Copies of this chain bind each other. A is one copy, B any other.
Amino acid sequence: MNKLAVGIDIGGTNTSIGLINREGKIFYEHAIPTQIREHFEDFVADLYREIKLGIEQLNEPCQIAGIGIGAPNANYYSGCIEDAANLRWKGIIDLVSLFKKHIDAPVFLTNDANAAAIGEMIYGGAKQMNDFIVVTLGTGLGSGIVVNGKLLYGHDGFAGEMGHIIVEPNGRLCGCGRKGCLETYVSATGLVRTAAEQLANFNMPSSLNATPFNQLTSKQVADAANSGDEVAKAAVLKTAKILGEALADVSVITSPKAIFLFGGLTKAGALLIDEVKHHMEKNMLYLFKSKIQLLISELGDNAAIMGASALVWAELENQQ
């Protein structure tokens, strides 16, 4: 009988559900819109119905080892989503308890970046590693830090908020209300902001000149950079430099064996990655020089549900 973990990734727009075995094989996958239900309880009932549908479609009996959920502002310790800015349900939502009303199986919750790190450890490039960091480069910048084979949650469950290291005092305004946070420079949004800044700096022909700021995408900037657009290239290189320097700083704190980059921004390719590596090494403390690998995540397009499901295996194996 197949032993499967349910992986659920709650995003601002869609929520994906998957059934995945310990080896990372996906047996079922489906997505539903996240925010059509007024009451969170109804949304949870929808999710449970989707899981049951998935199990029915397998055409063979299976055992559900547990449910892993990745969600914004998720608190691993409390099992709650706390004040998520991009969800319609406000305040503190006790997701794990609500789920347990439907199913008699272990339910685990963590945030998206932590789920990505656990996914890398269970299914991806960090299988043999006890100490590593996964940096997720999406709309914002998240990080999941694994120390001694376990996710670093810290005192209140919110450790690993690397996107909110301040890299530029009085720098760019951040969604968190402060200024100069890493993610205002290094993220899809950050790259677009830097491209706009470089357009102003260079004031020369560029394929980006014709697109209004609010329509510019990080993919467009990365593609232009890789096609030789000087302004776009300057934006990518500046982004890489800031990331490389930040990674060198974080390395002296947690001493990882490797740092994995994950998410859309990594598709900017060697232009970005080589420059990140260059600045990371240039700024690295001698104790760690040439010792910390910079790698691309080995999780593919289904990384979000894989990461969420990986949480189940990691938790059950830790309990043994």
Contact = CB atoms under 8 A, between A and B. Distances in A.
Interface stretch (A144-152, A184-192, A224-232, A295-303): A144-152
B245 A159 contact: no
Q: Is the interface of A mostly helix, strand, loop or mixed?
A: loop
A82 to B, nearest CB: 9
Contacts of A156: 255, 257, 287-288, 291
Interface string A240-267: 0000010011101111110000000000
Contacts of A249: 165-166
A124 interface: no
9 contacts: A155-B256, A156-B288, A158-B255, A158-B287, A160-B255, A161-B287, A166-B245, A178-B283, A253-B253
Nearest to A177: B286
A134 B287 CA distance: 21
Nearest to A157: B255
A212 interface: no
Contacts of A286: 176-177
Interface in A148-203: 148, 150, 152-162, 164-166, 169, 176-178
Contact of A252 (B165, B177, B287): B165
A160 B248 contact: no
A285 interface: yes
B152 A254 contact: yes
B176 A155 contact: no
Contacts of A147: 147-148, 152, 154
A145 B150 CA distance: 15
Number of copies of this chain in the oligomer? 2
Contacts of A250: 253
B253 A145 contact: yes
A131 interface: yes
A35 interface: no
Interface in A69-88: none
Contact of A285 (B131, B150, B176): B176
Contacts of A256: 154-155
Of A153, A250, A252, A256, chain B has the most CB atoms within 10 Å of the CB of: A252
A217 interface: no
Contacts of A288: 156, 158
A291 B161 CA distance: 15
Nearest to A180: B283
A220 interface: no
A209 interface: no
A160 B253 contact: yes
Most buried by B among A152, A176, A256, A285: A285
A176 to B, nearest CB: 6
A67 to B, nearest CB: 24
